[in-house]
Structure 1
């Protein structure tokens, strides 16, 4: 999906170091120093405009969160959420997910969220999918043993591909929902895309997988 370019986005990001970590490589291996309280760290890759990550930070003050988004013109919109409520347990990174190991060390992160990732449906683009094996290796390198990935999408093809990718990599499947909004799952916090797609009647798929 195309987003309107915001030429002022970089300047605004740099004006808010209380939320945006501008030199994340300096925190590799010591991310607890980026927060006022030491507690488990969860990250969302592809945080978009931030509805999910801000909602999670509000609902779970006992957990620290980092939202990661490559597009400046998108992640800058998270500030609109943060202006209303101060969230000391939330930080933002404007970086590429392919570079995770440049910023995080083994055991830095306790859980990873992947929400409504680009499905990259063409076969030649398979390696760009965030559930492709090379990404799963990157996640393994920053999670502890037994670390988890929680994945949501409305795209059935991507969901089926991801379940296969998880299985082939050797991850343990903990939870699967083929229709999240009509399931008994509690505490779901929607993303902007989730609200949009579900309002059109699209089924939402969700799973939780664990590294062995």
Structure 2
């Protein structure tokens, strides 16, 4: 089996060496044409240039929406759970919720980094080898973790006081939205055709 994988890998690399220059050349021509058109637009008038430029804050927000890296659902859920830990007198429940909060903070960082790296993957590399399956696996794993925490929070809610139950339900709703959005953004990053994506996925596993 290992010998077969080596043979396949060598064959794919050889074919990639033949295909990559043509693909990169085509991409370069397209980029060159785009730059020429952009230069023509910029040379028209200074006022037109000023109207085209968007505030950096808006561009950053748009980038987060496109790559699903806002994590606002997790942020709101963390705030709700922190209020629960402040009011709850049950040490066991308090420790469980605090552990969730710490894990959600790590998930927030990991998913943001993973999706950004996936969105920044070189087009030529993505065409040949497919998307970044390693980061995709990390995001998928974190989504599963969020859904498991939702089930745990549903159990905690059943034994909570009304004041705590409201915040717990709010955290459940936000985590559900966040998990759904992460799955949607992940599917978008995994979409598209690639020549040897199946092989890269096999080797990643």
TM-score w.r.t. structure 1 length?
A: 0.25
Structure holding more helix per residue: 2
Structure holding more strand per residue: 1
Q: Which has the higher contact order (CA 8 A, sep 6+)?
A: 2
> Which of these two proteins has the greater Rg computed from alpha carbons?
2
TM-score w.r.t. structure 2 length?
A: 0.25
